[in-house]
């Protein structure tokens, strides 16, 4: 497929200009490495020579951010491909493999909630979620805030008789709840509700959530007139109320285009440390929501950023509109359109508008991106200022940009676990969190647990990197002493600061938690900087929450396995089969007799026994 053409310029005086002179002028992929040999950027080009020459041009302009990054290049490797399409695929694969530091790695702003409609359930309900999964459910949104999503849900609950209870409650109800009495639910939990009627309602809800309210109103109006003609005035009145309620919501929505098309609008805003891509969702001509994605330093230009965004976002998006407006003209737009067509199964147009209402839409997206970037940058700056004060107050050797905090959880030594949470720039970095099952200590001993976990975290040589700037232990001098001795054993002393945070002892009249630092006998006095203590408490509490959640998970799993152990007819093999299929004890508990019976080897009688044994509420389950 491709020819490897490596310009191994690991020589000390790497010259990008020389490297460019040796490069092929066809399509391909280039990998840039830093002095340590790590791949820091992967790019693709229709013409490799031309693309790399553009870096030479930028490198002479140190005022430009890219110019600064270019100075870090110590080697360039190029891979020539037979076509641009091959280059596109290869670039994606190499980015996934190397995760280069200066490629755009979009972080989804998870503040925005969505609505999930589980259409696999015979009588689906709407639930507010933060994560969009590829699980066959329908997702709507994202919404600009929890308030906005709740408002939408409120309108739906008032207008449609969708069920509101959880799946579990739905299965176990023996009588309809208050929602039914208030005419807010048809009560499919207990009544024989025609599935087609419910499905029709689900279609209407979907239309509403897709921004197709005008179409929905037309449908309802037609049904209302039909009912009136047949002199079914009761039905006509219900439909009239529904129509009025929906018309009211339409009045509040912002119509942004007159062709009533679905389209996404992309805009970018770039700052020195942080950049942002904003995506506006226009459905049926109405602006229904937006979403932000952030990324740090990159060597990509605006056109590459937008191209990368499209490929990263639409690879997993639950819906691709027929048109995507972009703020730049992309060289490889036809290639990306072809890629989108393959995913959607229909033509998708990438378009940079030049005039008319589409330009207004783009301007709106650009304004939003700039405003959101300003807000995010200000928030980051505030976090940095807090960390600078923390460094000063605790006399830390470095700015505590990466803080790691450890905690243990167990009940009288049963199923002991530990957690590590990471805060970057004062914010939780959940992707870096770790949890540990204690393996070597078989008696209740908090110090020994901490010793084991710290050795596992820091005792892997280079693989233990990155190290924190500040290590925080939940506990007092004892835990801190353990950390000091482990770090000393691993010859890591001086690499980072360490402290322990212990709960206040109210019996002794203590009014606040105590923070112990190595080399100090007494707790740190925070004076008026109580916000700094609050930050450390927040980090400690997060480690505590994470450890407890893991402990609970282990406990439930063990309890479930034990519960299965006690069912006659369920041996080791069937137990594994059930857990493999349903993934958790909770899901086995929620499964119907039919679902259990559907598994090979589980006859109806056994399925009934399993169901009965697992649904005996209040029965103590051995751990
Ligand atoms: S009436 Fe039944 S289905 Fe409807 S919300 Fe209540 S419990 Fe759920």
Burial class (CB in 10 A: 0-12, 13-18, 19+), 325: buried
Q: If you average pLDDT over residues 303-310, what whole number do you get? A: 90
The pick from 165, 182, 192 for probing ligand 1's pocket by mutation, whose C-beta has the most ligand atoms within 8 angstroms, reads: 165
Q: d(Cα 96, Cα 311) in Å, to the nearest integer?
A: 12
pLDDT tops 50 at residue 375: yes
pLDDT tops 50 at residue 434: yes
Please identify, by atom number, the ligand 1 atom nearest to the C-alpha of residue 177: 6
The pick from 173, 188, 191, 197 for probing ligand 1's pocket by mutation, whose C-beta has the most ligand atoms within 8 angstroms, reads: 173
Please identify, by atom number, the ligand 1 atom nearest to the C-alpha of residue 164: 5
Separation of CA 116 and ligand 1 centre (Å): 18
Q: According to DSSP H, which parts of 110-212 are helical?
A: 146-159, 167-172, 178-181, 195-209
What confidence score (pLDDT) does residue 137 get?
A: 87
**Contacts of 472 by beta carbon, 8 Å cutoff, 6+ apart:** 403, 404, 405, 406, 498, 499, 500, 501, 536, 539, 540, 543
Beta strand 323-325 pairing with 286-295: unpaired
Q: d(Cα 71, Cα 67) in Å, to the nearest integer?
A: 7
Separation of CA 179 and ligand 1 centre (Å): 6
Instruction: Provide the total of helices (H) and of strands (E) in the chain, helices listed first.
Output: 20, 20
Task: Tell me which residue has its CA closest to atom 8 in ligand 1.
Answer: 165
Separation of CA 247 and ligand 1 centre (Å): 27
Q: Which of 41, 197, 29, 27 is nearest to 104 (CA)?
A: 41
pLDDT tops 80 at residue 395: yes
Give CA torsion, residues 109, 111, 115, 119, to 10 deg.
50
- Residues 409, 515, 430: CA angle, nearest 5 degrees: 50
Decide: pTM greater than 0.75.
Answer: no
pLDDT tens per residue, range 171-200: 888 889 999 888 889 999 999 888 999 999
Q: d(Cα 318, Cα 73) in Å, to the nearest integer?
A: 38
- Spell out the domains of the chain, with CATH numbers in brackets: 2-103 (3.40.1440.10), 105-210 (no CATH), 263-374 (3.30.420.340), 402-545 (3.30.420.340), 566-614 (1.10.150.20)
The pick from 172, 180, 195, 198 for probing ligand 1's pocket by mutation, whose C-beta has the most ligand atoms within 8 angstroms, reads: 180
Grouping H, G, I as helix, E, B as strand and the rest as coil, residue 7 is: strand
Q: What is the band of 271 on the pLDDT scale with cuts at 50, 70, 90?
A: confident
pLDDT tens per residue, range 217-242: 888 888 899 988 888 888 888 888 88
Task: Tell me which residue has its CA closest to atom 6 in ligand 1.
Answer: 177
Packing angle of the helix pair 213-229, 233-252 (nearest 10 deg): 160
Ligand 1 neighbours (beta carbon < 6 A): 163-165, 169-170, 173, 176-177, 179-180, 185, 187-189
Handedness of CA 610, 616, 617, 618 (dihedral sign): negative
Separation of CA 186 and ligand 1 centre (Å): 7
What confidence score (pLDDT) does residue 561 get?
A: 66
User: Are 402 and 507 in contact, with CB atoms under 8 Å apart?
Assistant: no
């Amino acid at each position: 497929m491709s020819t490897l053409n490596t310009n191994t310029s690991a020589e000390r005086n790497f010259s990008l200009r020389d490297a460019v002179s040796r490069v092929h002028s066809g399509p391909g992929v280039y990998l840039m490495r830093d002095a340590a040999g790590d791949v820091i950027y992967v790019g693709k080009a229709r013409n490799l020579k031309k693309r790399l020459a553009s870096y030479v041009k930028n490198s002479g302009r140190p005022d430009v951010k890219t110019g600064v990054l270019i100075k870090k290049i110590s080697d360039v490797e190029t891979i020539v491909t037979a076509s641009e399409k091959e280059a596109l695929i290869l670039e994606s694969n190499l980015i996934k493999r190397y995760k280069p530091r200066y490629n755009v790695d979009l972080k989804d702003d998870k503040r925005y909630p969505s609505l999930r409609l589980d259409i696999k359930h015979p009588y689906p309900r709407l639930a507010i979620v933060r994560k969009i999964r590829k699980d066959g459910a329908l997702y709507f949104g994202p919404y600009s805030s929890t308030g906005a999503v709740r408002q939408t849900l409120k309108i739906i609950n008032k207008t449609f008789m969708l069920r509101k209870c959880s799946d579990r409650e739905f299965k176990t109800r023996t009588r309809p709840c208050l929602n039914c009495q208030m005419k807010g639910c048809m009560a499919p939990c207990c009544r024989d509700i025609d599935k087609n009627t419910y499905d029709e309602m689900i279609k209407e809800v979907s239309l509403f959530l897709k921004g197709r309210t005008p179409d929905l109103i037309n449908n309802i109006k037609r049904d209302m007139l039909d009912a009136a003609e047949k002199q079914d005035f009761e039905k006509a009145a219900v439909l009239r109320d529904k129509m009025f309620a929906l018309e009211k919501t339409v009045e509040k929505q912002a119509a942004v285009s007159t062709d009533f098309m679905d389209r996404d609008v992309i805009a970018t805003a770039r700052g020195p440390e942080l950049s942002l891509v904003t995506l506006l969702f226009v459905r049926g001509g109405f602006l229904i929501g937006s979403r932000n994605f952030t990324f740090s330093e990159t060597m990509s230009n605006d056109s590459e950023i937008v191209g990368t965004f499209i490929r990263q976002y639409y690879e997993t998006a639950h819906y691709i509109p027929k048109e995507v407006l972009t703020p730049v003209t992309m060289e490889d737009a036809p290639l990306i359109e072809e890629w989108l067509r393959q995913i959607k199964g229909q033509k998708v147009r990438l378009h940079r508008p030049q005039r008319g209402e589409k330009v207004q839409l783009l301007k709106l997206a650009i304004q939003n991106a700039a405003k959101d970037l300003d807000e995010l940058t200000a928030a980051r700056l505030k976090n940095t200022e807090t960390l600078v004060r923390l460094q000063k107050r605790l006399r830390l050797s470095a700015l505590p940009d990466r803080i790691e905090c450890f905690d243990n959880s167990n009940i009288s030594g049963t199923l002991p676990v530990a957690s590590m949470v990471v805060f970057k720039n004062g914010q939780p970095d959940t992707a870096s969190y770790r949890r540990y099952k204690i393996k070597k200590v078989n008696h209740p001993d908090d110090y020994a647990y901490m010793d084991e976990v710290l050795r596992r975290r820091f005792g892997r040589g280079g693989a233990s990197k990155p190290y924190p700037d500040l290590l925080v232990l939940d506990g007092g001098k004892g835990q801190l002493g353990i950390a000091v001795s482990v770090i000393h054993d691993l010859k890591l002393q001086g690499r980072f600061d360490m402290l322990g945070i212990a709960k206040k002892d109210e019996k002794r009249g203590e009014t606040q938690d105590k923070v112990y630092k190595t080399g100090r006998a007494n707790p740190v006095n925070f004076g008026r900087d109580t916000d700094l203590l609050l930050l450390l408490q927040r980090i400690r509490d997060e480690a505590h929450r994470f450890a407890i959640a893991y402990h609970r998970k282990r406990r439930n799993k063990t309890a479930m396995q034990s519960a299965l152990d006690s069912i006659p007819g369920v041996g080791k093999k069937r137990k594994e089969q059930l857990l493999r299929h349903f993934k958790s004890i909770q899901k086995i508990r929620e499964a119907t007799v039919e679902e259990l019976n559907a598994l090979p080897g589980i006859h109806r009688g056994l399925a009934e026994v399993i169901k009965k044994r697992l649904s005996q509420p209040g029965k103590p389950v051995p751990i």
